[in-house]
Structure formats: C-alpha cells, structure tokens
Amino acid sequence: MKKALAVTLAGLALGGCLGYRIGPAKPHYLQDVHSIAVPVFDNKTLIPRVETLVTDAVVKQFQQDGTYKITDAGKADATLKCEIARISRSPARSVVGNVLATSEFNLSMHVKYKLLGPDNKPLGPSGEVVGTTSFFVSTSSTTASHQQVLGDVTSDERQALPLAAEELAKRLVTQLSEGW
C-alpha cells in the first residue's frame, strides 16, 4: 500500500514537468536548424566599416548563446542575411545654460534580417531589430566665460557604436533562438 502511494505521488509530482524540456527552446519552425552561416551584413548607411562590427557582435552572441553552431555557408542548415538599414542619433540632454547645444545623444541601430534555408527560401518571417545606447559628447575645454566647448560628436558616436551593436546582437539572437 505504501509503495503504491509513493509511486502515485511521484507520478503526480513529475507529471507537472511534462511540458518542460532541457536544452534550447527553439521556435517550432526552426527545429531542424542546428547550424547557421552569418555572412557579413549589408551596410545601407553612410558609416564606413560598421558592417564588420555588427556582424562580429552577432557571431559572438550566437557563440555565447549556444543554440546554433556558426559555420560556413556550404555546411550550414540556414543562412542569416542581414542589412544595416539605419543608424541615427537624437538629442537626449542639452548643455546647462545653452539649450541649442547637446551634451548627450541617443543612438539607435536598425537591422533587417531574414533566415534562409539551403534552397534560399525563407525559413520563417523576416524581422527587424534595434539596438540602442546613449553617449555623452566629450568636452574639450572651457572658455574664459566658463562655458564648455563640446568635442567631436562623430568620434564620440563612433565609440558608442559597439555598445549599440552588442544590444542589437542580443535581441537578434534572442529572436532566433527563442522566437521572441
């Protein structure tokens, strides 16, 4: 009697775990995909060499996530085609005493992607991900009237690009490995 009761309780306790799986939780339409090729992204912006920065960030994030193996295009179950569509900055904070000068910017990077099978047919819906960060404009000096002279916005933006690329990579890999 005690043995039957113990087996019944164990069955009920473990029965609640039937829907769970150990390992990656891929979307249903990507169940057969185990390896992905990630060619260098297309760059539709005017910022030079940003495509290698973003591609490297995505490959590193795939390797860290571990859901898919990164391999060459000829050996892969799928190929990730991406296009850096837009990189934009918008003012977030102005300089104290001068509302026309900006001391902090928000940077956003937009990438459109699609996952293609070996026959170059889409494996799922295409999508778009956005990576964002903020950066401060460096101050180069102060004048005699104690006003700050702002530095080069372009070089400060260039230094913030890797942070936006990392966030974008996390979002892209999450969408492909978990489906959301």
Q: How much is the CA Rg of the chain, to the nearest whole Å?
A: 24
Residue 2: burial class (beta carbons within 10 Å; 0-12, 13-18, 19+): exposed
The model's pTM is 0.79
> Which CATH class for the 27-178 domain?
alpha beta
Taking the C-alpha atoms of residue 120 and residue 103, their distance in angstroms, rounded to an integer, is 46
pLDDT tens readout for residues 6-58? 666 666 666 555 555 555 567 888 889 999 999 999 999 999 999 999 999 99
22 dihedral zone (left: phi>0; alpha: psi -120 to 50; beta)? beta
Weakly modelled stretches of the chain, pLDDT under 70? 1, 4-25, 140-151
pLDDT at 7 (0 to 100): 65
3-state secondary structure of 110: strand
